[in-house]
Copies of this chain bind each other. A is one copy, B any other.
Amino acid sequence: MSFDRLIEKIVNTQNPSVVGLDPKLEYVPEYIKDKKFSKYGKSLKGAAKAILEFNKGIIDEIHDICPAIKPQAAYYEMYGYEGVKTLYKTIKYAQEKGMIVITDGKRNDIGATMEAYATAHLGLTDVGGEEIAAFNSDALTVNGYLGTDGIDPLLDMCLKYDKGIFVLVKTSNKSSGELQDLMIGSKTVYETMGDMCERWGSEQIGRYGYSSVGAVVGATYPEQLEEMRKKLPHTFFLVPGYGAQGGGAEGVAKAFDANGLGAIVNSSRAVMCAYKKENCPAMDYAKAARREVIRMKEDITAYLPKISI
């Protein structure tokens, strides 16, 4: 999609942030869990149904002020195939409400297998001549360690179905530097990966200057955000690590261009658990999530020019 659709949603909401739906069961209010456990037992199905209701509640409250959600596949796989069913239904529900969905799966494999992942998450699966959407997300995070033939099938899918990918470049965790900061000649591993993103995206540049190949660059490394923003002018950034992981709004602002575009900042736990921090009734968890989305938007945009295309 060259991220055109995402960029337009960001401009419309004046909000360059995405809510990470990484629903640990402990984040879900007791009253939702009690209801589902009494119906389905303390089972993976019961957990998955509780998470789906929790997610829908948040989406209902934020879809008009937030451009996108980013479900993290791991937290759905943790509840087995029932959890994966909840991932599917969460994606569908958010899209029906007009949101963009970025599936955070960090998928990677050799060409033929990557085609299967690309089909699963971004494309349509052929079943005896019928074309059926397995997950149908708008974008997928991927790991580029395997090189170009592990990325090519995704590029085809981006072009065909108007989708995007985010390649891991510099991740937000503490030990990200163990490999990513090592020097290959005069460049770090993450700079090398960043250059590959520019190259992979070079034939799919959209209306607003950004290609369909984005990069994950952590909020916890502001100097690297600034440096990468300059060096990768066509690469849209997905920025994890704001808030809970320690990345502040001033640092995060370095990921953006002169139009207040070029990046989307993720927050997961702070939104999902806003009701705990506020100490408000659990029934109001979704309204608390909305308040946190507004707070975050104001925090980040305070350091940005007016977002415009």
Q: A residues touching B (Cβ–Cβ < 8 Å)?
A: 22, 24-25, 33, 37, 42-44, 46-47, 72, 74-75, 77-85, 87-88, 106-111, 113-114, 116-117, 119-121, 125-130, 132, 134-135, 143-150, 168, 171-180, 182-185, 189, 192-193, 196, 240
Contacts and interface: CB of A to CB of B under 8 A. Distances in A.
Contacts of A145: 143, 145, 168, 171, 179-180
A173 B192 contact: no
A29 B173 CA distance: 46
A115 to B, nearest CB: 8
Given A114-B74, A168-B145, A193-B179, A33 B108 contact: no
A78 B134 contact: yes
B144 A179 contact: yes
A85 B45 CA distance: 12
- Oligomeric state, in number of copies? 2
Given A106-B109, A110-B172, A113-B22, A119 B185 contact: no
Contacts of A183: 184-185
Nearest to A151: B175
A16 B238 CA distance: 42
Given A22-B116, A44-B134, A146-B173, 8 more contacts: A24-B116, A42-B130, A74-B114, A83-B134, A108-B168, A146-B175, A147-B175, A179-B189
Given A147-B175, A179-B145, A81 B78 contact: no
Nearest to A146: B171
B129 A42 contact: yes
Nearest to A132: B44
A227 B150 CA distance: 25
A129 B193 CA distance: 43
Given A143-B143, A144-B179, A128 B33 contact: yes
Contacts of A107: 74, 106
Contacts of A182: 184-185, 189, 192
A10 B295 CA distance: 58
A246 B226 CA distance: 44
18 contacts: A33-B128, A44-B127, A46-B127, A47-B125, A74-B117, A78-B134, A79-B125, A80-B120, A80-B132, A81-B81, A81-B82, A83-B134, A144-B179, A145-B171, A146-B171, A179-B192, A183-B184, A189-B189
Contact of A106 (B25, B82, B143, B174): B143
B177 A116 contact: no
B173 A128 contact: no
A130 B42 CA distance: 7
A113 B83 contact: no
A88 to B, nearest CB: 5
